Copies of this chain bind each other. A is one copy, B any other.
Amino acid sequence: MAINPNLQSGMKIAALAGGVGAARLLEGLQHWVAPADLTAIVNTGDDFCWMGLHVSPDLDTIMYALAGVANPATGWGIRDDSFRCIRRLEELGEEAWFAVGDLDLATHILRTERLRSGQTLSQVSRELAAAHRVRAAILPMADSPAPTMMQTVEGTLAFQEYFVRRKCRPQITGIDLRMAGGARPAPGVLEALAGADAILICPSNPIISIGPVLAVQGLRDAIRESKATVLAVTPIIAGRSVKGPAADMMRDLGLEASALGVARIYADLADIFVLDTQDGHLRDAIEALDMRVRLLDTLMDSRERRLRCARQVLEALA
């Protein structure tokens, strides 16, 4: 597709982003929006330390997608990566519950080295993005550690422990976002929100991906005070998460596991709610929450669909 000059409107976009769903929408947006006008504000609640290395899953997923090197099969990790180092660690007796590829490892090694030498997470993220030739801004939500803790029927678990190692099996009873609540927004975050013409809430898990971003000090207020149009894209289609455990989690927490349930979470923030075309029957209920509704094909499982969805999101904002 050629870039539509009408859409290269200089509209400044700040996007609250989690992992794969957000990465797909941002990949599409990058095609239509000038890089200088696109800022992703990314969840770091999933960050963890693996074998002494600082891993930032969502920052990497977004970066790899915008760099065009993401693994198309999974949405995370790098295309054609190999897993020799981690298999070796397994042979040496380490539990290799987190699949780190040999190419992916370079990112974690570099990030960890920079953090240890005193750089902030935003500084490293900028360096990594530049090294990957990504021109849009990828900002961590906060520079200080803000791990999301999962309260489950089996006790409190660190996020990756729950998500990867336990495969989201323990039923959750709550989410502890106190670390995010105590964190200040990373440099550039409030500026991007204040200067945005549109703030997007990407189709990410509202509980564990967008939730931590919104919990960061002052972030909700910055969105409320902004003059930007706020548009949220549903991560749930026909009652099911496109990717990951959003629907199950919402059910566990007593929320309705549907796009309507998601819309309720964002009702106090969003002006426009993008519903999947499969969920047209929820339109009235969401409009009753005082949001405009747009019905779009939000399943972005091919590059073509990502570009089309992003373009339609921009049209909804125009």
Contacts and interface: CB of A to CB of B under 8 A. Distances in A.
Nearest to A116: B52
Contacts of A52: 52, 109, 112-113, 116
B110 A85 contact: no
A102 to B, nearest CB: 4
Interface stretch (A87-95, A240-248, A274-282, A290-298): A87-95
Interface of A: 51-53, 81-82, 84-86, 88-89, 91-94, 102-103, 105-107, 109-110, 112-113, 116, 128, 131-132
Nearest to A96: B106
Contacts of A113: 51-52
Contacts of A112: 51-52
A274 to B, nearest CB: 35
B82 A131 contact: no
B132 A106 contact: no
Majority secondary structure, A binding face: helix
A131 B93 contact: yes
Candidate in A85, A92, A103 with the most chain B CB atoms within 10 angstroms: A85
A105 B85 contact: yes
Contacts of A110: 51, 89, 92, 94
Given A89-B110, A109-B51, A131-B93, A102 B116 contact: no
A260 to B, nearest CB: 43
A136 to B, nearest CB: 18
A307 to B, nearest CB: 27
Contacts of A85: 85, 102-103, 105-106, 109
Given A51-B109, A53-B109, A109-B52, A88 B103 contact: yes
Contacts of A116: 52
Contacts of A82: 82, 84, 102
Contacts of A86: 106
B106 A89 contact: yes
A29 to B, nearest CB: 24
B89 A109 contact: yes
A71 to B, nearest CB: 14
Contacts of A131: 91-93
Given A131-B92, A132-B92, A84 B109 contact: no
